[in-house]
C-alpha cells in the first residue's frame, strides 16, 4: 500500500507531466504555424576576415528554446520512452493541425465591406505553406526528437547523473544538425526551390543559430532541473 508521501509524489509527478506535455505540444504546433515568415537576428560574429551573421531565419524559431528545455526535462525525469511517445503524438497532432488548415483554405472567405477579417488571398498567404515544407518540417521534428532522446540517455548512461550540460546541450546540438538538414532538403531542395549551392550556404547559418540558442539555454536548463526537483521534493 502506497504511503501518503508516495501518493502525493505520484500525483505531483503526473500533473507536472501533463503541464510539460501541454507546453511542449503547444510550442511545437505554434512554431509550425508561424513559420511562414522570415526574420533577421542582428548577431554578427567575426572570425579573422570572415563574418557570420546577421542571421535570417523563420519566426518559428521563437518557441523552439521552450521545446529544447521541455525535451530535456522530460528526458531527465520521465525517461526516453516517454519522450518518444510524446514526440510521435506531437507529430501526429501537427499533421492533424495542417489537415484542418488545409481544409480551411478550401472554404471561400465571405468578405464583409469595412471589416478587418482575412480575405482568401491574405489567409492563403499566411497559412498556405507548400506541402513539401510541411512534410519536411514534420519529418525533421520527429527525427530530431527521437535522436535527441536516444543521445541524451546514451550520454547519461556513460556519465551517470553528472554533467547535466553535456547530455542536455550535446544531444540538442547533434539532433538539431539533422533537423536543419532534413527540413531544408525535403522542404526546399527536393521541390526545386533551393539549389544545393544555396542549401550549403543557408544550412550552416541556420544550424549555427540553433547551436547558439542551445548553448545559451544551459543556465535555464539547470534552473528547470532545480525547480522540478523542488516541486517533486527530490533531494538528490
Over 61-111, what HEC string results? HCCHHHHHHHHHHHHHHHCHHHHHHHHHHHHHHHHHHHHHHHHHHCCCCCC
| CATH code: domain of residue 156 | 1.10.1760
Q: How many CB atoms within 10 Å of residue 10?
A: 12
pLDDT in tens, 133-172: 888 889 999 999 999 999 999 999 999 888 898 999 889 8
Residues 6+ apart with CB under 8 A from 88: 142
Report pLDDT for 122. Answer: 87
Cell 525517461 sits at which residue? 79
Peptide linkage before 223 cis (omega within 30 of 0)? no
Helical (H) or strand (E) element with 47 = strand 45-47
> What are the cell numbers at 163?
554533467
Segments forming the whole domain that contains residue 49: 4-232
Helix 164-184, helix 196-216: angle, nearest 10: 160
Give me the helices (H) in the chain, please: 4-33, 64-78, 80-105, 120-127, 131-159, 164-184, 196-216, 218-232
Report pLDDT for 1. Answer: 54
Report pLDDT for 236. Answer: 67
Residues 6+ apart with CB under 8 A from 37: 58, 59
Report pLDDT for 37. Answer: 80
Report pLDDT for 44. Answer: 80
Number of domains in the chain: 1
> DSSP code of 59?
G
Helical (H) or strand (E) element with 58 = strand 55-58
Q: How far is CA 71 from CA 111, 168, 196, in A?
A: 43, 9, 31
pLDDT beneath 50: ranges in the chain: none
CA 173 – CA 53 distance, rounded (Å): 19
Cell 519522450 sits at which residue? 83
> What are the cell numbers at 62?
521563437
Cell 503526473 sits at which residue? 14
CA angle 23, 66, 175 (to 5 degrees): 115
Amino acid at each position: 500500500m502506497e504511503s501518503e508521501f508516495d501518493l502525493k509524489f505520484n500525483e505531483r509527478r503526473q500533473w507536472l507531466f501533463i503541464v510539460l506535455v501541454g507546453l511542449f505540444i503547444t510550442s511545437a504546433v505554434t512554431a509550425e504555424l508561424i513559420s511562414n515568415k522570415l526574420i533577421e537576428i542582428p548577431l554578427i560574429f567575426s572570425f579573422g576576415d570572415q563574418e557570420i551573421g546577421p542571421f535570417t531565419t523563420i519566426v518559428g524559431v521563437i518557441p523552439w528554446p521552450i521545446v529544447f528545455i521541455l525535451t530535456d526535462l522530460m528526458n531527465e525525469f520521465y525517461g526516453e520512452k516517454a519522450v518518444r511517445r510524446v514526440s510521435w503524438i506531437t507529430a501526429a497532432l501537427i499533421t492533424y493541425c495542417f489537415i484542418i488548415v488545409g481544409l480551411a483554405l478550401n472554404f471561400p472567405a465571405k468578405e464583409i465591406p469595412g471589416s478587418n477579417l482575412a480575405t482568401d488571398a491574405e489567409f492563403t498567404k499566411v497559412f498556405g505553406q507548400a506541402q513539401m515544407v510541411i512534410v519536411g518540417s514534420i519529418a525533421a521534428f520527429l527525427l530530431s526528437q527521437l535522436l535527441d532522446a536516444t543521445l541524451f540517455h546514451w550520454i547519461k548512461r556513460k556519465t551517470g547523473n553528472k554533467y547535466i550540460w553535456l547530455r542536455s546541450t550535446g544531444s540538442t546540438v547533434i539532433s538539431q544538425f539533422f533537423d536543419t538538414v532534413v527540413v531544408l532538403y525535403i522542404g526546399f531542395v527536393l521541390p526545386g526551390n533551393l539549389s544545393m549551392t544555396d542549401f550549403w550556404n543557408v544550412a550552416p547559418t541556420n544550424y549555427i543559430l540553433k547551436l547558439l540558442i542551445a548553448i545559451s539555454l544551459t543556465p535555464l536548463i539547470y534552473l528547470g532541473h532545480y525547480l522540478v526537483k523542488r516541486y517533486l521534493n527530490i533531494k538528490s
